[in-house]
Structure formats: structure tokens, C-alpha cells
Amino acid sequence: MSNHLLSLLIWLPVVGAIPVLLAGAGRPGLARWISLLVAVATFAASLALLPAYDAATGTLQLGESLSWIPSLGINYSLAVDGISVALIILTTFVQILVIVGAWEIIQNKPHQYMAAMLVLEGLMIGVFCATDALLFYVFFEAMLIPMFILIGIWGGPRRVYATLKFFIYTFFGSIFMLVGLIYLYHKTGGSFAIADMANVHLTLTEQAWLFFAFLLGFAIKVPMVPVHTWLPDAHVEAPTGGSVVLAAVMLKIGGYGFLRFSLPITPDASHEFAWLVIVLSLIAVCYIGYIALVQQDMKKLVAYSSIAHMGFVTLGIFIAFLLVRDSNNPDAARLGMQGAMVQMISHGFISGAMFTCIGVLYDRMHTRQIKDYGGVINVMPIFAPFYVLFAMANSGLPGTSGFVGEFMVILASFSANPWIALFGAFTLIIGAAYTLWMVKRVLWGDIKNKHVAELKDVNGREIFVLSAFAAGVLVLGIWPEPLVHLMDASVARIVEQLAITKV
């Protein structure tokens, strides 16, 4: 059993979607309960990773390998390191909240909604486990299908445009990655194993082409400026659950991809073009922050703030190259990379929570325009503190998880170049500006809209979801040590690899 834990984690939700679908439209209650059961079981199974995984070494563990296509040397091989474990637990945790969050909200074909969510969960876990590049690609692409359906059926008025844009944009990025992977397969002499690809000798030109193929695939997923335009559309039109999963987990897959592919396979090209990624990250942090400031739509505001926060992830990953190779400061590199990872997990909680909050308001008012609100605290006294807490976390208040990762990345970039740190630190001002201003306009003040006056406060189910997110945000903010420890050795291994040149 324990040596098939990863397979169990992937396939339990996928197979669990079948009874949910069979329960059918006629018995929505049954469908909901089955999906909750499956989600909870998957979460429980993912917790079993913690004792099974030895965080001290940081190697890829719990490996499984089956020959999938023997004649091409493609294997169904899975393994996890500390970073994957953290992301998998984040996924399974968020998934429960998404399913509880959609309980009464989704009335149109709830069984299909729940089933799509479960399939999506399994595929995302698959992405975090795969150690064979083709298997990774299969999960990476397959996960677009349920998301496409989720946005398209249950989304807002412009859902069709948004979901087509989402799918085609992402597919556009990854197909070039596929060509790159096939080229690498050709180079390794017939192996899709990521580890073999990391060992193969490549000239700088080859690395540069591959680096850009990977960059295209992962930068669209993260998303980085200038290929971020699908995200605001997708987020605004997606149903609440879709937005939560998209922001909390799917975006992380881009950052994860950089770690798994770009760094080990094209280290020299990554070093060569680290400045490009760093500049793009800083543009995301500063410029996209300003764009967030002027948004009229709450969801769009949070979507843009997601792009800005994900800028820290890419910044933390690529600043490590400057630190290791130019400043010869591996400790700072480790700090930056560690910060990027913490930021990924933390952003998963915060963005998920923010979108849930907006979903709560939207379900009552059917508008996301900030100007339609005002004075919400007067009628929703239980909801308001949650909203404020998540907003504070989003602007990076110390004591919340939002602070930890960003602080580590800024600290590390200071060792590389104070200017980078300066621009990165802008986020603390801009982030506070756009989030707190939104809080001011939505929560505080007098009630101007008569619909706001009729608002009902959150019910028990919503309190549960919000509390769970709040717990994540606070625990990670006050006591990040366990998470850091879980990922530390794995991050150290990645940083060590950065120094090794392949040319």
C-alpha cells in the first residue's frame, strides 16, 4: 500500500469522479456527499505522505515505476520531494474547501461540477508526482480539459471567450515545450526521464532554445508578464471554485515546472537569461500592482494581485542563479528559493481565500463591482474580519503567511543586487494600497446600496471554509518552520545543481 501511495493519490479522485457522475442530476445530494468523501479521503491519504517522506535528505522518494511504452522507453514513474509534498497537500486541502464551498451554490448539474473538480485534482497531483517528462506533459495538458469545462459551463457571462482563451493560450505555450521534450528525448538516446534529461550534454545554443520552449510553457501558466492576459479573463469568468483552484494550485504548476525542467535541464541558459526573467518578475510586481490598483472589479483586482505575487516566485527562483554563479553566495540563493516555495504555498491559501470571500459576496449580490458595495461590515459582522484578515495577508502583513515568502525573497535579492530588492519591496506599498483600498470601499463606510442593507451574514458552511483558509494563513505566518523544514533539503539540492555547468 505505502509504495503505491502516489498512484493512490492520483487515481482516487479520478476514479472517485465516476460514482459522482453516476449519481446523476437527479440526486445532487448524493453526488455532493460522495465527492466530499472522496476529497476528504484524498486529503487523508496525502497527509500520509508526511510520515512516509524523509525530509532530511530531500531526494525524490516514494518512487513508483512501471514500464508504460517499452519500445519508446516511456515510463509511468512517480516520485516526490519536499516541494511536491507541500504542493500536493495544498492541493488536497484546497479541494475539500472548494467542494464544501460549492455545496449549495452550484445548482446547475452539480454532479458534473463535482466530478470535473475531482478529475482536475487527480491530474494536478499527477503533475506534482511525475518524474517522466512525457507523463508530466500528459497530466499537464489533460488538466486543461476539466478546467475548460468548469469555466465554460459554470462561469459568468463572458465565460466562453474566457475559457477558449485560457485553453488556447495554455496549449500554445505547452506545445512548444513538447517539441523541446521530444528533442531532448532524441538527445538522451531514448529516455523521457527528467533525470536523464538533466544529465545530457547540451551546447549553450541548444539550451537557449530549450530554455525558451520551457519558458513559454511555464511562463504562461504562472503567468508572467507579458503572457498574463488570459488570467484576468479566466478568473473573472470562472465560478468561485474554479478561480480558487486556478489561483491556489494551477498557477503553482508553472513555478514548479521551472524547478523541475528549466533549472536542471538548461542551467547555463537559465543563468544567461536570468536577467530577463528577473526583469519580467519585477515588472509583474510593480507594474501589475499598479494595474490592480485601478480595477473596478474585485475579482479582477485579486487576479492582477495574483500575477504580482507570483512575480515573487519567479524572482526567487531565478535570483538564485545570480547568487550562486555571480556572487558565489549559495546560502542567500537557498533563502531566495526557499522564499519562492513558501510564497507558492502561502499564495495558495491567500488567493484561494480572497476568491472565496468574493464568491461569498457575489452569491448574495450578483455583482463584483467594488462601487456596488460599501458598508458591508454593518450587515456581515462575522464575514468582515475574515475579509480583513485575508486582505492583510495579501498585502504582506507580518504574522500572516504573505509576509514570510516575500520577505525571504527580498532579503535574498538584496544580497544579489540592492536595486532588485528595492523594486521587489515596492510590493509592500502597492500591495497594501490596492488591497486596503478595496477593503475600505467594500467593507467600511455607510451603506449606499439598498441591496447591501439586505445582505445576510455567512452561514456555518461558509464559516468553515473561511476558517480553514484563515488557519492556513495564520499558521504559516506565525510558524513557517515545519513547511520550511519539509522543503529545505530539496531546495538545497536544487541550489547545488545550479552551480554545475553543462556546457
- Contacting residues toward another protein, per CB under 8 A: 68-72, 112, 134, 137-138, 141-142, 144-145, 148-149, 152-153, 159-160, 163-164, 167-168, 171-172, 175-176, 178-179, 182-183, 185-186
Specify the residue, 83 or 115, whose C-beta has the smaller distance to another protein.
Answer: 115
Q: Are 395 and 435 in contact (CB under 8 A)?
A: yes
Distance CA 327, CA 463 (A): 48
Query: Smallest gap, in angstroms, from Cβ of residue 243 to another protein?
Result: 18
- Nearest approach in angstroms of CB 185 to another protein is 7
Picking from 381, 380, 497, 375, the residue whose alpha carbon sits closest to that of residue 445 is 375
Q: Which is nearer to another protein, 164 or 286 (CB)?
A: 164
* Cβ distance to another protein smaller for residue 167 or 414: 167
- The partner residues of 404 in beta bridges, in order of sequence, read none
Residue 33 or 171 with smaller CB distance to another protein: 171
CB of residue 216 vs another protein: minimum separation in angstroms?
A: 11
- For residue 409, which of 346, 342, 350, 351 has the smallest C-alpha distance? 342
Handedness of CA 393, 399, 405, 409 (dihedral sign): positive
Residue 483 Cβ vs another protein, minimum distance, rounded to whole Å: 32
Cβ proximity to another protein: between 185 and 211 the closer is 185
Give φ, ψ of 328 to 5 degrees: 50, 55
For 245, the 3-state DSSP assignment is helix
Q: For another protein, give the closer residue by CB, 166 or 414.
A: 166
Q: How far is the CB of 171 from another protein (least distance, A)?
A: 6
CB of 109 or CB of 493, closer to another protein: 109
In the complex, minimum distance from the CB of residue 109 to another protein, in angstroms, rounded to a whole number: 8
Q: How far is the CB of 336 from another protein (least distance, A)?
A: 34
Q: Which is nearer to another protein, 33 or 172 (CB)?
A: 172
Q: Are strands 74-80 and 61-69 parallel, antiparallel or unpaired?
A: antiparallel
Tally of residues, the chain? 503
Q: Which of 65, 80, 38 is CA-nearest to residue 489?
A: 80
Nearest-10 crossing angle of helices 144-154, 133-142? 10
The residue (of 179 and 500) whose beta carbon lies closer to another protein is 179
Q: How far is residue 503's CA from residue 500's CA, in Å, rounded to a whole number?
A: 9
Least Å from the CB of residue 18 to another protein = 12
Are 248 and 348 in contact by the 8 Å Cβ rule? The answer is yes
C-alpha R_g of the chain: 22
Burial 192-211 (b: 16+ CB within 10 A, else e): bbbebbbeeebeeebbbbbb
Nearest distance, CB of residue 68 and another protein, angstroms: 7
What the block records as the C-alpha cell of 223 is 503567468
Q: 262: buried, middle or exposed (CB in 10 Å: 19+, 13-18, 0-12)?
A: buried
